[in-house]
Amino acid sequence: MRARDEVEAAYFALLRAREDLAELEHFREYLDDELRRIRRFMSEGAALEDTVAQRFRRRLSHTDRPLTDALRTRQRVIEDELERLPDRVTAASDYVADCEREHAELKQSR
């Protein structure tokens, strides 16, 4: 009975490891999309500003700086996450391989 429990535990660990890896890959897609969205928003906003006289934008202009600062901060955080992500994906992939190996060994030793 103990061997069966170990095999099942290894199998569920493997499933969780695969799920974590898939979620990390989805997270990378999310970060890429979010970075593109921020860049597009900032670019489109700057282009729109050029189409309207400053005197009409005066009431809005006091929010330009805080908004730009917040977006640039978010952009830097996303870029930092994207730099760190390959190491996290590698570690998760290695863990999946370890789980697969352990599960296979336990199944054979049963």
Residue among 13, 21, 16 nearest 92 (CA): 21
- The overall pTM is greater than 0.85: no
Q: Please provide the average confidence, as pLDDT, over all residues in the chain.
A: 94
pLDDT, residue 4, reads 84
Could you tell me the residue range of the domain that residue 100 belongs to?
2-109
Give the count of domains, the chain.
Answer: 1
Question: Is residue 1's pLDDT more than 80?
Answer: no
**What is the rounded CA–CA span in Å between residue 96 and residue 14?**
6
pLDDT, residue 86, reads 98
Question: Is residue 13's pLDDT more than 80?
Answer: yes
pLDDT, residue 109, reads 84
- Give Cα 40 distance to the centre of its chain: 19
Structure confidence by residue, pLDDT tens digits, 51-95 = 999 899 988 889 999 999 999 999 999 999 999 999 999 999 999
pLDDT, residue 101, reads 97
pLDDT, residue 84, reads 98
**What is the rounded CA–CA span in Å between residue 36 and residue 28?**
12
Beta-carbon count within 10 A of 7 CB = 19
CB 78, CB 38: distance < 8 Å: yes
